[in-house]
Amino acid sequence: MRRGGLHHVELRASDLAATGRAWAWLLGELGYEPFQQWDAGRSWRLGDLYVVLEGAPLGGTNDRRRPGLSHLAFHAGDAAAVEHLWTSAPDHGWSRLYEDRHPHAGGPDHHAAFLEDGERFKVELVAG
């Protein structure tokens, strides 16, 4: 545990089943392990950090372009690992973003894949 490090991230989904499948695949690929599960949610853990996905108690939609959280960025391994995730993501509930600029949508010296799930949660998978 490091002071100032993230303890957990909690996301709310309108379709917990579909969103849960997408996140279970992605987090599993990144080395997270299932941590907790209950009727209205589940979580995955990697070291001291865990990611929670819960069903939203109120209606509405997420839009990363409005004020609020834009995206989560994960260290995803080397360039080959990022490409594997980019290639496999559509089969697991993720849409590719910025395909015309992939893998340098974050700039010429930044190798990453940008994805969005069905709830419009965006992730950036950074090659290290």
Given a contact cutoff of 8 angstroms between Cβ atoms, the answer to whether 118 and 15 are in contact is yes
Task: Encode pLDDT of 59-112 as tens digits.
Answer: 998 888 999 899 999 999 999 999 999 999 999 999 999 999 999 999 999 999
Domain that holds residue 86: 8-56+70-126
Number of domains in the chain: 1
Q: What is the pLDDT of residue 2?
A: 83
Question: What percent of the chain lies above the pLDDT cut of 90?
Answer: 90
Q: What is the pLDDT of residue 1?
A: 73
- CATH number for the domain that contains residue 93: 3.10.180.10
Helix %, strand %, coil % for the chain, to 5?
25, 35, 40
CA atoms of 120 and 89, how far apart (whole Å): 14
Q: What is the mean pLDDT of the chain?
A: 96
Query: Is 65 domain-assigned?
Result: no
Q: What is the pLDDT of residue 25?
A: 98
CA atoms of 7 and 57, how far apart (whole Å): 23
Query: Is 3 domain-assigned?
Result: no
**H or E segment and range at residue 28:** helix 16-29
Q: What is the pLDDT of residue 53?
A: 98
Query: Is 104 domain-assigned?
Result: yes
What integer is the mean pLDDT of 10-34?
97
Q: The whole model's pTM is what?
A: 0.94
SS3 call for 106: coil
Query: Is 2 domain-assigned?
Result: no
